[in-house]
A = this chain, B = another copy of it.
Amino acid sequence: METREKILLEAVKLFASAGFGAVTVDRIASAVGIKAPSLYKHFKSKRDIFQSILSEMERRDAENAESFSLPADTAENDPEGYQGIPVTALLGFCREMFVYWTEDEFASAFRRMLTVEQYRSEEMNRLYHQYLGEGPLQYTADLLGSYDEALTLYAPMHLLYGIYDSAGDKQAVTARLEQHLKTWYKERTGGNDNELSEK
């Protein structure tokens, strides 16, 4: 891995556990395996590292969006994209998202970093909600046509992210998610894989 990328990965992991303000450039450097001044050959400041993490996530996010089967845009900008999607496709999307935010090393650390930085500034708060809070909730609500149903589908995923982080048996948490999705599906459709828009 290139040094620059390695710096971003180690930095996001450190920011995730201690927060930006409590991580020293020395600790980042030693996690990478270099000395602190060498960091400045790649980034112009500690803050620049942080900003580059945000950019990197944005890049990966855009990259991933193409491989997903669901509409990436919001309901207002793209109302036609929401027609004729089967509920099972939505559940598959939920599984994909869960695996992504828990098992992808960068994404998982980024999620924890946003969690601990969310109250520091208006912008961090915006990003937290965009990626992990009201963003996905609203997206789900648009698909389901019901805010309340979106809550019962998405909120458990959100809670399980945090439980997954410290779980000894990660597999058991994934099983809980699976159980949740199955139960939710049964409660909602009675077993028929209706299209979302026919609700």
Contact = CB atoms under 8 A, between A and B. Distances in A.
Contacts of A165: 119, 125
Contacts of A159: 133, 137, 151, 154-155, 158-159
A18 to B, nearest CB: 6
Majority DSSP secondary structure for residues of A touching B? helix
A66 interface: no
A67 interface: no
Contact of A156 (B117, B118, B151, B160): B151
Contacts of A17: 119-120
Contacts of A129: 162-163, 166
B22 A148 contact: no
Nearest to A112: B119
Interface residues of A, number: 40
Contacts of A160: 155
Interface in A116-132: 116-120, 125, 128-129
12 contacts: A19-B19, A19-B21, A20-B22, A115-B115, A119-B165, A129-B166, A133-B162, A137-B159, A152-B156, A155-B155, A155-B156, A155-B160
Interface stretch (A28-36, A80-88, A96-104, A176-184): A176-184
Contacts of A162: 118, 128-129, 133
Contacts of A118: 115-116, 162
